[in-house]
Structure 1
Amino acid sequence: MNNLKIINRYGQLVTDSREVAVMAGKRHSDLLESIDGYIKYLLNGKFRSVDFFIQSSYKDSTGRTLKCYLLTKKGCDMVANKMTGEKGILFTATYVTKFEEMENQLKVKKIDSYRIEDPIERARAWIKEQEEKLILEQRIFEYEPKISYLDTILNSTNAIVVTQIAADYGLSAKKLNEILKESEVQYKVNKQWILKAKYKDKGFTKSETFIDAVGQVRLNTKWTQKGRLFIHQLLESIGIKALMDLENIKVS
């Protein structure tokens, strides 16, 4: 019961819904269904659902990508409020204690860059702070359309990775990312491509959080259909056509 793992996700403490399901004595699929219901009510009430539950994914033993959620302390509160008896009491006691322990650890470890005396270490800490700020900023912009349009864009099942889009044009993912970089659409921060400021709030991308094989939280950027159309128009403007269009030209 005391093995609940708390993750520091860009300054926000969260825990995995799979672990919560085990502690709550529920099937993970049942917990996901309950959380989907909570999110619906939160959105109807004009609350930011990401303050409670953050949609994520993981790979199972067969390699399938499956849905899960990262729960904030508020999200755990909401789940705990629906539990009764001994399990509810123990779950509440555990997550409150674990979140408190992690918060105390961060208070000890976290030192603002301006308070570091060594100039080199101060510069490194400042760069790290700016990277985290930029990534968090993109996540905030990406979730705004979700709140406004009730998941019609960001929760679309048609969001795809850049590799799939690149293949439609006979390009590699690396080449397409470089084209988007040269076109000043995106730039790279901490191994993730970040959209330039003027594109961040367009609903072009959807960043999904997942836990890798060594237990680290990672982000995977996917493009929505709106973003895919944008890329198509951009590539056509520089003379790169989709393979399907080229085949159609040959046939005609």
Structure 2
Amino acid sequence: MNELIPTIKDKDRILVGGRDLHEFLEVRTPYTQWFERMSEYGFSENVDFIGLSQKSEKPSGGRPIQDHHLTIEMAKEIAMLQRNEKGKEARLYFLELERRWNSPEMVMKRAMDYLNARVEKLQTSNLLLKQQVNELQPKASYYDLVLQNKSLLSVSKIAKDFGMSARSLNKKLHDLGVQFKQGDIWLLYAKYQDRGYTQTTTHVIDSEKSRISTKWTQKGRLFIYELLKQQDILPLIERDDTNATA
């Protein structure tokens, strides 16, 4: 079917350009005057037509060119009002467009297009949700790991969570102003001493010898986690495959 008059497919309806129809009907009256006269036949804006404005092609900023998008029902009635061959031809053309638009095949196609768009939107939403869950899951997994363990931990055990040695972790905590070394033991600075992050334990070797060591509580373990995270240092469980193997 040849396109006599350009049309626009807008969701569930067909629209016709007012100036395109005016040109096809070969109306001699200027478009704006002609359209005002046609509107007097009971057509309503935003129901039967939509007003449009286009920039003038004239230099030095001419006045905007007024145009309209008409429903196919309005376009048919306007064509009938012309009472000439061009009007009859336009009306028959619009009737054929409507017949094709409302055919079972086209109705089914529009329904399938709508369903496919909905499915694609849902798939996109599900993908975004999955990505958000994946981003949150590593943190939850590490917290679960910590909360499941109530025992005291040596610094070497915590260091292993981050793929570090005990010496490296102790130095990092020292550099971050968390602890200092006194003799052979690491002690927390006063700022952190009363927060329940560590406990000092004494290991008796014999009647004359004993060894003092500092162990970290699970609360202290989470403190180290949050502190190192601010330095972009994540535990192995929260790194992707590339970072975990680097």
- Is the radius of gyration larger for structure 1 or structure 2? 2
- Tell me: higher relative CO, structure 1 or 2? Use CA pairs within 8 A at least 6 residues apart: 1
Task: Give the TM interval when normalised to the shorter protein.
Answer: 0.3 to 0.5
TM-score by length of 1: 0.38
